[in-house]
Amino acid sequence: MVIIMLGAQGTGKGTIAGLISEEMKWPQISTGDIFRKNISEKTELGIEAEKYIARGELVPDEITVPMVINRLNQKDAQEGSILDGFPRTTQQAKKLDEILEKLGKKVDLVINLSTPKEELIDRMLTRRVCSNQECKATYNTKLHPPKVEGICDKCGATLKQREDDSNSEAINRRLEIYEEQTSPLVEYYEAKGVLRTEVVSTSINRMGKDVARVIIEDIKKN
């Protein structure tokens, strides 16, 4: 089963994908994690990707698509996979359809997350992530703080703020890009009959863990 997470940055895609991955034992394939790993290791790919990410821009397809193809071909992704952060444009979605067709697969479910913009900006500014690439746990200093400030509950590693989360101008630009280029994916997948929209917001007391629980129950039923 192939699942795609849609939604602007800060809606909780990573959190929900992580919970589904943990329960179903399917890998969470995040291009963001791959980019950050390469950036920290100063690889050629990482150096190029960092230039775009620092400006709040999307990383070009010629860098992103080959990585996704390689990841989908790995053994642990054969039974199921959760794509978090890809595709981000209809062009990428069409390329993904072509890739999956060659692998004898298709997109089975697209989870579209919606959160008010003001809430998104605040979430990203207060988001912290585990510095341990093997853990990748995510926290929020307001909504989901760690038990010990600055320390990951799961592995004890230091928490850090992503570089692209520390600049409000870059965050606004990322949200603008999402509206311009990524939101049309909602229409693309709705037309295919695989879209499921969920609102995640403190205003209705419905957070990522609540959405994940319902989706996992539905997946198991099917």
Catalytic residue among 173, 196, 206, 213: 173
Asked if 170 and 119 count as a contact pair (C-beta separation under 8 A), the reply is no
**Does residue 106 carry a catalytic annotation?**
no
**Does residue 13 carry a catalytic annotation?**
yes
Note the helical H segments in the chain: 13-24, 31-40, 44-54, 61-72, 90-102, 117-125, 168-177, 184-191, 208-221
Q: What is the dihedral of CA 115, 123, 131, 178, to 10 degrees?
A: 50
Cβ atoms within 10 Å of 59's Cβ, excluding its own: 22
Catalytic residue among 95, 127, 128, 174: 127
Ramachandran region, residue 186 (left: φ > 0; alpha: ψ -120 to 50; beta: rest): alpha
Please name every residue paired with 196 in a beta bridge, in sequence order, or none if there are none.
Answer: 111
**Does residue 213 carry a catalytic annotation?**
no
**Does residue 127 carry a catalytic annotation?**
yes
Catalytic residue among 36, 88, 128, 174: 88
Please name every residue paired with 110 in a beta bridge, in sequence order, or none if there are none.
Answer: 4, 195
**Does residue 88 carry a catalytic annotation?**
yes
Catalytic residue among 37, 105, 162, 213: 162
Asked if 24 and 213 count as a contact pair (C-beta separation under 8 A), the reply is no
- Residues belonging to the active site: 13, 88, 127, 162, 173
